[in-house]
Chains A and B, each alone.
Chain A
């Protein structure tokens, strides 16, 4: 087999090797072999997630609108095969498998310490060779309905989705990844088949393996599975119909009641990365650096509001910078959530009106470089970070260098232009 092997391109990141190749059908492969490790973590994923509800596909030659939650439903059903439940097969091999669906990706993983080759073969095989029946689709609806209800009872998720609805209105980002009880009731096996054939194409997928492994063996296994199912000759074409990423929020503010112990606020900014001239990675690094300082425990905003009792330990922020959309969310508990929103907004505006402290930005840069190095201590973090970068057309291997290179001026410029009051919205959860 070695004669047909795609050549590896080797890189070294923080003293560790990364082997990279493109396999049949365009499947991208990254391998991080790690000496002295017992575990192997493998992740095979595709750029297909909760927001992909409207697309034209060469599978049927039509524009298709599919029910919300279809990517997540598909993820659940992938584990069922004619031969039985894939989880059982992994368990017999001593591997543990799981999957996750995000807004714009779905990833399948297996973690093993024994029978690593067999586990990798099984991972590639079940993801690259699906099997759906109407009866099994119907059976899964009860399980997914319980999952949806579980998230409905989760205040953090309710607040997060409430804010996204305010920011994005009817944009698919504001649709729950798992869908609704009504939308999943409408899902049929034919929907799953169409989505699978449209998006689970090798050229839209990424395999990353980290830990105890031999890159050549990984490549041989993945290539053999691609050939076994004829997936190395897959030529499906798909056109997505994304909605505008930028724009004003659909609604500025909304209050909602649910059984919570304390009021919770979510504050967000809708960002058009393309209009800012920033790649998703550059935008993410700039905003993480600026907000890590501004919203951090040692920054100009948190300590004062903490002392006043307006913010507490729950306060934090997240940056989502993807190819099709970008937003920032800051959230926390507060006894006076409206006042906390007002004060956080005002303090942020004041801080961004001046020059950000150079020493603090230098400290944040160091921290982010440290976090990047730290991520190599976890094979799961390494695989998921790599995959999430792939899903946004970025390269995880460039992250450390990009963090070192971005200038303070660029960080300030992007923060000022992205965190604009006009594109901001908020949401408050009050005790029922």
Chain B
């Protein structure tokens, strides 16, 4: 299998990279602008701004008009949102439409959608004096609702609280939408300024997937770009708090039926360049699916949980184990988790576990090619995580060089940092 890159890259200007994948196997065509900014004091303003971009541009104002415009293009639309990518705060503006050749009359759906996106980025309605300020109030309330929705999803909430505790005082602790109090305090002028700065000055990765050639995509996206010079994309190592000398336990009380457990570990002397592949391999062996150690031991063998998994954040070198368990079994599950981590650290991996992990990685990477979303996420993770492998095959080849000993060596450097427990009664 050729180890080609997924995207053909073209520098349109300093800090503006067009990444195009040409293929005709999909019915839809997608273009997304990813503005790569810092997780600074403007996070909350950027998040509100992402909501406001959906209200269109100066000549197509409001949800009604935007919605009507896209219904005429056989659905799709403009979606804008913020996310954390490695150590960066990302503003994504995306349009996805059905390709005209699959529709009656062969309309130029992508051309029209791109024209719309360009206007939204250059002349957003919310930046105009005519903008209805009450919409700002409503969209800020919408974002607060989204923040509350995380609070209501116990599993996501436990993971967020763990992260806040582990990385307190650093940008790593800030959620993608900002803190509640920051969103409450943000003003329309601050949102306008933050969006103006991000859209005009932040480095951009423009991802495009569809049947057009790269020249025609470059031509279509140019009107969306301003004249202001942007810096080239650079990703730095995050500032992380020092390792704790003793793990911290945070217990919070809520009247819920199932307790949530989130255990955060840090890798001592973490160096993403040399450690990340072995750490991810160890993460898959520990809690990466239905054949992982956590799933087998805690769910299948002992019936103590319905959901249990682990995940690795490669930027700070943090491994998180998450589970929903009966409140009476919290302590037992914690100790079983530590036992499974010790098993990986000691290299106690059966041939079957190894085979399953390797086959799972191969399947997951090969499947990247069938999903535009997965292709974008793969490339974005590589660029923001400073990973050299730019194709699924190259990454697979890298994983094939990782052995059980490598994963064990990383796991021997794991230190329990924080335990977060959410449940119906307080436990010390």
Contacts and interface: CB of A to CB of B under 8 A. Distances in A.
Contacts of A314: 145, 149
A43 to B, nearest CB: 16
B14 interface: no
Contact of A370 (B76, B258, B291): B76
A395 interface: no
A147 interface: yes
Contacts of A35: 25
Given A146-B324, A364-B71, A95 B138 contact: no
Interface string B297-331: 00110011111000000000000000011100000
Contact of A96 (B135, B151, B289): B289
A34 to B, nearest CB: 7
Interface string A286-312: 000000000011110011001101001
A307 B135 contact: yes
B102 A14 contact: yes
Nearest to A79: B290
B329 to A, nearest CB: 9
Nearest to A16: B27
Contacts of A146: 258, 304-307, 324-326
Interface in B46-63: 62-63
A88 interface: yes
B260 to A, nearest CB: 9
B323 to A, nearest CB: 9
Interface stretch (B4-12, B229-237, B358-366): B358-366
Contacts of B138: 306-307, 309, 312
B75 A93 contact: no
Contacts of A36: 23, 25
Contacts of B66: 297-298
Interface string B226-264: 000000000000000000000000000011111000000
B254 A259 contact: yes
B152 A94 contact: no
Nearest to A332: B145
A92 B352 contact: yes
A374 B97 CA distance: 8
A303 B356 contact: no
Nearest to B74: A370
B152 A260 contact: yes
Contacts of B154: 153
- For chain A, the bracket of interface size reads 35 or more
A152 B135 contact: no
Contacts, number: 181
A11 to B, nearest CB: 16
Contact of A14 (B27, B152, B303): B27
B142 interface: yes
Contacts of B71: 298, 360, 363-364, 366-367
Interface stretch (A54-62, A107-115, A322-330): A107-115
B370 interface: yes
A93 B362 CA distance: 10
Contact of A113 (B72, B142, B362): B362
A94 B299 contact: no
A91 B307 contact: no
A280 to B, nearest CB: 23
A371 interface: yes
A377 B145 contact: no
Interface stretch (A134-142, A247-255, A267-275, A420-428): A134-142
A143 B97 CA distance: 42
Contact of A152 (B26, B151, B257): B257
Nearest to B143: A313
Contact of A91 (B64, B76, B290): B290
Nearest to A371: B75
Contacts of B103: 369-370, 373
Contacts of A303: 62-64
Given A146-B306, A262-B148, A87 B75 contact: no
B264 to A, nearest CB: 21
A39 interface: yes
B256 A376 contact: no
Nearest to B153: A154
B102 A373 contact: yes
B142 A153 contact: no
Contacts of B74: 366-367, 369-370, 373
Contact of B306 (A150, A260, A376): A150
A363 B138 CA distance: 26
Interface-centre pick from A36, A147, A297, A371 (highest chain B CB count, 10 A): A297
Contact of B152 (A142, A145, A261, A298): A261
B98 A374 contact: yes
A106 B31 CA distance: 36
B68 A150 contact: no
A88 B291 contact: yes
A333 interface: yes
Contacts of A112: 363
A250 to B, nearest CB: 25
Interface string A118-149: 00000000000000000000011111111101
B355 A92 contact: yes
A409 interface: no
Nearest to A88: B291
B4 to A, nearest CB: 14
A37 B290 contact: no
Contact of A307 (B76, B134, B149): B134
Contacts of A34: 25
A313 B142 contact: yes
Given A14-B102, A312-B138, A333 B145 contact: yes
A143 B67 contact: no
A230 to B, nearest CB: 30
A339 interface: no
A4 interface: no
B397 interface: no
A211 interface: yes
Interface in A82-112: 85, 87-88, 91-97, 111-112
A281 to B, nearest CB: 19
Contacts of A14: 27, 102
Contacts of B75: 366-368, 370-371, 374
Nearest to A258: B255
A432 interface: yes
A374 B98 CA distance: 6
A29 interface: no
Nearest to B371: A378
A277 interface: no
Contacts of B325: 146
A432 B424 CA distance: 14
B65 interface: yes
Contacts of A363: 68, 71-72
Nearest to A95: B363
Interface string A315-347: 000000000000000000100000000000000
21 contacts: A88-B352, A91-B291, A91-B359, A92-B355, A92-B359, A93-B359, A96-B289, A97-B290, A114-B362, A114-B363, A114-B366, A149-B326, A152-B258, A153-B257, A259-B255, A302-B63, A307-B138, A309-B141, A314-B145, A366-B71, A379-B370
9 closest A-B pairs by beta carbon, nearest first, are: A370-B74, A298-B67, A142-B303, A363-B71, A370-B75, A94-B359, A91-B356, A261-B148, A113-B366
Given A36-B25, A260-B152, A374-B98, 7 more contacts: A38-B366, A92-B359, A95-B363, A296-B67, A364-B71, A370-B75, A377-B28
